[in-house]
């Protein structure tokens, strides 16, 4: 299933928040070519990002005379520590926000998957040429680390057969059209048992216990809002 409208809305809000924080602090990535960044007093650095020292002081002073006077009462070592803690918190906040997955389950907990799984209904909206060009080709180098050329050819063939079966098979078409946001990956693909096995496998998460090592390509998240229009257009033409 494609991400819901609320998923995209939440994701957009998070990205706006990240951009706002970066702009407010004038947060910049550290130039790895800096010869000796520790000797540069113009910036306060943490791990991967930096903020201009004078800008950071101005932000503190913007909070009022009490915040300004508290900063002035600090000696240099204390001031350096406080400023670095602010940058550390800001950098951590930005990185963690960028890692947030907006999609939630029924218990308001993060979904186990990073984004909703790709079902047959999304795939029938892509012409085989577009599936190869826009989905497989950008990831082909990575796919070839785990899949043979023959297996990738079979993925392409599975997709061609799926599109043709949807177009020419009213029973399959009816089953796919009934899928909604509550349809699970396995339930959706079980409408065509024993078919399109390579395509099904390449679309499903295969990770270690920590969900950090993807061994197969997952196309979840590749399908953006434009897919909605494509899918609806195809379904309408077959109605």
Tens of pLDDT, residues 25-75? 988 877 655 545 554 678 888 888 889 999 999 999 999 999 999 999 999
Asked if residue 125 and residue 84 are part of one domain, the reply reads no
Cβ 69 vs Cβ 59: under 8 Å: no
**Selection from 6-20, 39-53, 207-221 with the highest mean pLDDT:** 39-53
Asked if residue 138 and residue 93 are part of one domain, the reply reads no
Asked if residue 92 and residue 25 are part of one domain, the reply reads yes
Give residue 194's pLDDT band: very low, low, confident or very high (50, 70, 90). confident
pLDDT of 1 higher than 60: no
Q: Which residues contact 57 (CB under 8 A, 6 or more apart)?
A: 71, 83
Q: Which residues contact 217 (CB under 8 A, 6 or more apart)?
A: 139, 142, 143, 146, 147, 202
**Segment 77-102 mean pLDDT:** 85
Query: What is this structure's pTM?
Result: 0.43
Beta strands in 47-163 (DSSP E): 49-52
In a domain, 105, yes or no: no
What residues make up the domain containing 71? 5-98
Count CA atoms within 13 Å of residue 234 on its CB side: 21
For residue range 115-140, list pLDDT tens digits in order.
Answer: 445 777 778 878 889 888 877 887 78
Asked if residue 142 and residue 73 are part of one domain, the reply reads no
C-alpha 40/C-alpha 48 separation (Å) is: 15
Cβ 153 vs Cβ 160: under 8 Å: no
In a domain, 185, yes or no: yes
Asked if residue 43 and residue 81 are part of one domain, the reply reads yes
Long-range contacts of residues 103-112, Cβ cutoff 8 Å, at least 24 apart: 103/3, 103/4, 103/7, 103/10, 112/211
Q: Which of 64, 98, 132 is the last residue in one of the domains?
A: 98
Average pLDDT of the residues of the chain: 74
Return the higher-pLDDT residue of 224 and 99: 99
Q: What does the pLDDT read at residue 73?
A: 94
In a domain, 139, yes or no: yes
Placement of tokens 């609806």 in the chain = 232
Asked if residue 126 and residue 92 are part of one domain, the reply reads no
Q: What does the pLDDT read at residue 210?
A: 37
In a domain, 12, yes or no: yes
Tokens of 56: 């950071």
- Of 13-27, 153-167, 206-220, least confident by mean pLDDT is 206-220
Asked if residue 82 and residue 163 are part of one domain, the reply reads no
Q: What does the pLDDT read at residue 141?
A: 79
């Amino acid at each position: 299933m494609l991400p819901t409208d609320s998923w995209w809305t939440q994701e957009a809000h998070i990205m706006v928040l990240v951009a706002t924080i970066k702009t407010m602090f004038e947060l910049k990535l550290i130039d790895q070519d800096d010869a000796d960044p520790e000797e540069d007093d113009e910036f306060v650095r943490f791990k991967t990002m930096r903020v201009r020292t004078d800008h950071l002081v101005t932000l503190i002073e913007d909070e009022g005379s009490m915040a300004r006077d508290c900063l002035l009462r600090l000696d240099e070592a204390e001031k350096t520590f406080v400023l670095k803690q602010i940058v550390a918190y800001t950098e951590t906040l930005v990185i963690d926000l960028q890692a947030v997955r907006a999609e939630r389950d029924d218990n308001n907990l993060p979904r186990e998957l990073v984004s909703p799984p790709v079902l047959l209904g999304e795939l029938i909206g892509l012409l085989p040429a577009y599936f190869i060009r826009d989905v497989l080709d950008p990831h082909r180098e990575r796919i070839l680390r785990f899949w043979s050329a023959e297996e990738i050819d079979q993925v392409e063939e599975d997709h061609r057969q799926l599109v043709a079966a949807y177009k020419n098979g009213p029973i399959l078409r009816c089953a796919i059209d009934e899928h909604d946001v509550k349809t699970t990956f396995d339930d959706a693909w079980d409408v065509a048992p024993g078919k399109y096995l390579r395509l099904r496998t390449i679309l499903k998460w295969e990770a270690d216990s920590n969900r950090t090592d993807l061994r197969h390509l997952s196309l979840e998240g590749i399908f953006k809002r434009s897919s909605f229009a494509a899918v609806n257009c195809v379904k309408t033409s077959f109605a």
